[in-house]
Structure 1
């Protein structure tokens, strides 16, 4: 056994090295295609493949620092920049009308790229507090770009095309509303997972145990940083109190079960 253990460790180290050398360039190629291709179908496939590759079983063998780099240097910036470009492209009613479905699909894939790999590898990320906080704050920054402004909601009672020829403006408003709602749902889910993991607490709550030390450690209160960031997301104002109450209730149940 004393001989086998170093061999296993060496094999895992070798596998991690191979993945970094061979697998990482493949991920970067997918990201490049998602970023630069002129064709929506190519970008969509690249985003989907990139997300699936990172949550694939091989992702477990990637060294922790490389995993953090994949999320912080590839996934989050790519998704954020694509969402900005896509939402900006929708400002031209004629262009938007013809491509709204493709834009919506790509926006959904971008949101998935932000949250799915993060939650899939959360247990590993939580072993590296500083890196975790940096990644989480980057995610909140991107979501602030998406959710920072409230969507303009139509107030007239007519049909979609009554005030807007062809219904183009309404279609764009629906796209924005749907995207923001989807983003806020993913954000809420991530918050609840982090609360259940002991990383976040409801505002004004004091955590105990390992989760509390994580939330307060390193000179930064992760919970305060999180709620402050969400407070700047105007679209979430109608949800934030409910989220805080749910977080407080979830945190209280977790604390009771630990006791």
Structure 2
């Protein structure tokens, strides 16, 4: 509903129309490339489609660790498309180098937070509240911090801190499971507020496509604002009233 309203109202940068001249150029280019495509190129596309299917099924069924599934996809595509030169493989990772550098910075920040127990006062303040208020407040605290740093890293720290409280006997297993749901939703829903919170947004912002479509950090925050309010608000209400 939010998506339809934004596209119809053309607010927050949505609802842009593709000019007819631009569409014609793109269509002609696509048709030209399709005519030039030989049997080898078609086979490579088929292999990539099958690898994408393997990736989706592997992640959906949790058949292995995420890193191993990604490595499997790389091996399948490179092997069946005949890419055997490491220099060719290396060029595929150049696009992700700025994104990887930012991830390293996030790892360093989260490591400092974890070692210095900087989140401990927040956890203690939330656990000092009545049990029925803890999920909602943890959702808010988690969401704010997830918008600053990567949501996965923040969730890892929060889960670790809450698990320590469980091991110390400060809560029941049932209440721990409730707080775990609040942490999971709090790190995934409000974190769309900034590219910092979502790795996919950050990757797009650091890609070569961003300057071509005039995609800046501020524009991403502005376009994400309605989704942040809707998902964050509904998520908080659900965590506070349904858990």
TM-score of the superposed pair, with normalisation by structure 1: 0.26
TM-score of the superposed pair, with normalisation by structure 2: 0.27
User: Between Structure 1 and Structure 2, whose CA radius of gyration is higher?
Assistant: 2
